[in-house]
Amino acid sequence: MSARVISREEAFANARRHLDAARARRDADRAAGRLPLDVEAICRHLERQQRATVPHRAAA
């Protein structure tokens, strides 16, 4: 018996699709104010960290 083996690209595409769906659900819950306060605080902290590590691009 041989099972179908998916390619690496297909595996990454599937994982990306699931991650994007989870992020969309989180963002919808956040916009509706349904996230617990501790989770909201974690999101804000991570966003601040991300902004601090990404260099700002000069206005063109």
What is the reported pLDDT for 45?
Answer: 96
Q: Say whether pLDDT at 60 is over 60.
A: no
Residue (of 26, 45, 48, 44) closest to 35 by Cα position: 26
Domains of the chain by residue range:
8-53
- pLDDT tens digit sequence for 5-17: 999 999 999 999 9
How far lies 49's CA from each of 26, 43, 46, in Å?
19, 10, 5
Q: Is the pTM of this model over 0.75?
A: no
